[in-house]
Copies of this chain bind each other. A is one copy, B any other.
Amino acid sequence: MSDAADVLISHCRQAGQRITAPRRIIADVVARADDHPDVPEIYRRVAEIDPGISLSTVYRTVKIFASTGLVERHSFAGGRARIEPASEIHHDHLIDIESGAVIEFRSDEIERLQALVARELGFELTAHRLVLYGRPLARKARRTRKP
């Protein structure tokens, strides 16, 4: 049981939610996920630990976690929501269009400009979603192999 999972369950308790076995397991699976799984995938992982837990419960629990802000629901592609444990530091995503891999990044400069743009439009920026799509550059100057 990771500490991140502990944080999730303790927040649950503070929110007046009951701590149940399914929630512990789902918290653990979500907390240790580093690959932005969608809910069906989380369900698969949860099922490996306890096959009795229903898909509904996974959806419900993920929704609860998301409402505490400790877990984020993104929607990169076709409909399904992809989940990640929220980190203190905000980041955006870059999708490798060849492999589908999700790379996290952060640019304070871009963040700053976003707030600025929003303000110019007469809005207070409350959230944003930035996803870049890119093709890996031919890496001629790589230094992981000898020449």
Residues in A lying within 8 Å of B, measured CB to CB: 75, 77-79, 94, 96-97, 103, 105, 107, 109-110, 113-114, 117-119, 121-137, 139
Contacts and interface: CB of A to CB of B under 8 A. Distances in A.
Number of copies of this kind of chain in the complex: 2
13 contacts: A94-B121, A94-B123, A109-B113, A110-B114, A110-B117, A113-B113, A118-B132, A121-B134, A123-B136, A123-B137, A124-B136, A125-B133, A128-B133
A126 B117 contact: no
Contacts of A110: 110, 113-114, 117
A30 B135 CA distance: 31
A130 to B, nearest CB: 5
